Amino acid sequence: FSEILRRQCDLPIRFEQAEVNRPVIIVRGQYRYQPIARNRTHTDEYGDHFDRIDLFEHDHGEVKQSKSCRSFDKFCRFVGDRINRPVINEAGREPENFLTAGYHPADLRRAKAHGKIDELSLLAHLHKQTGLRFEIELRSMRVLIVRRTEE
């Protein structure tokens, strides 16, 4: 790929893989659904049961949008996308039901305006709703590094 960029776009770069220590979120514990007042387990038109977990820094009341996550690993990836950090599932007991991740667009707008989500607040709200611990740790992660080359 770097050869194509060098030849066709005249970009003198090369790619390298490296192992680096990065802060990640580790999910641990036993899942226990503890819905906030407006949420409950619901059943969709196919008879599948969903626990609704709201992702928010500051509670705005009813969330405006939701994302269906059929597995707990997908839910972890969705949370990771929201906070721009890998979320690694090491939970002992996962949900029996599917999950729906509810969120409010105001959180996205605030994050874009300030450049960062209040990660600790969001994780504290997730803990209250799931009983799981969300812990920040350093883990070795493979990354792709783009370097400028001399030509």
pLDDT attached to residue 149: 82
The pair of three-digit structure tokens given for residue 49, joined into one six-digit string: 């049961």
User: What's the one-letter identity of residue 96?
Assistant: E
Nearest Cα residue to 89 out of 138, 28, 33: 28
Band of residue 105 on the pLDDT scale cut at 50, 70, 90: confident
Residue 91 pLDDT > 70: yes
pTM greater than the 0.85 cutoff: no
Provide the pLDDT for residue 95: 87
Average pLDDT over residues 69-80: 89
How crowded is residue 8: how many other Cβ atoms within 10 Å of its Cβ? 8
What Rg do the C-alpha atoms of the chain give, in angstroms?
19
Q: Residues 2-23: pLDDT tens digits?
A: 677 677 777 787 888 999 999 9
Confidence at 62, pLDDT banded by 50, 70, 90: low
pLDDT at 131: 94
How would residue 73 be classed by pLDDT, with cut points 50, 70 and 90? Answer: very high
pLDDT value for 140? 95
- pLDDT recorded at residue 3: 74
Residue 5 to residue 48: CA distance in whole angstroms: 47
Q: Give the model's confidence band at 132: pLDDT under 50 very low, under 70 low, under 90 confident, else very high.
A: very high
